[in-house]
């Protein structure tokens, strides 16, 4: 599957995300010298599934958030909100189960998401609260305000 334009825009937001994606692609290829842009794979399996790539980005977004400016963090969350709002069903599911769930999983071991919560759009927030309910994780007050 070719890499969607919205995903390329997401990775271009900051070096931390671009580095994470390059590392994920290199790991997938098994060699650092492989074609890492993911734009024209010879075969659909030449790039990891978009959900896998988004999971890596969601974890990196939480762990490396200090490397992103508030404007960059906002841009990331706006791109994802746009996909959750108007993307294809496949893309919406990939964003939700890849990036958003990875972000919430990073919160569990102690990464503070309050700083980016105010930047998240309504669909992203709705999904986070629903995921917490589904998994039995108590939703903190700051997620309900």
**pLDDT single digits (tens) 11-65:** 999 999 999 999 988 888 775 444 545 444 444 457 789 999 999 999 999 888 8
Least confident piece of the model among 3-12, 63-72, 125-134: 63-72
Query: What is the model's pLDDT at position 110?
Result: 65
Helix and strand counts by DSSP (H, E) for the chain:
8, 0
What is the average pLDDT across 82-91? Answer: 97
Residue 100, CB half-sphere, CA atoms under 13 Å: how many? 28
Query: What is the model's pLDDT at position 34?
Result: 46
What is the average pLDDT across 63-68? Answer: 86
Question: Is pLDDT above 90 for 10?
Answer: yes
What is the average pLDDT across 85-95? Answer: 96
**68 vs 115, higher pLDDT:** 68
Rounded mean pLDDT of the chain? 86
Instruction: Tell me if 61 sits within 8 A of 113, measured CB to CB.
Output: no
Question: How far does the chain reach from its first CA to its final CA, in angstroms?
Answer: 39
């Amino acid at each position: 599957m070719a890499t969607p334009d919205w995903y390329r825009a997401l990775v271009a937001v900051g070096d931390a995300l671009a580095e994470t994606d390059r590392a994920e692609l290199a790991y997938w290829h098994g060699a650092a010298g492989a074609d890492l842009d993911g734009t024209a794979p010879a075969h659909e399996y030449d790039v990891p599934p978009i959900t896998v790539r988004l999971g890596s980005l969601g974890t990196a977004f939480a762990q490396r958030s200090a490397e992103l400016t508030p404007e960059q963090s906002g841009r990331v969350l706006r791109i994802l909100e746009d996909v959750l709002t108007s993307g294809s069903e496949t893309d919406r599911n990939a964003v939700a189960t890849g990036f958003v769930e990875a972000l919430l999983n990073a919160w569990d071991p102690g990464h503070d998401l309050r700083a980016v919560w105010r930047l998240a759009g309504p669909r992203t927030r709705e999904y986070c609260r629903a995921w917490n309910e589904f998994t039995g994780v108590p939703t903190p007050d700051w997620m309900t305000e």
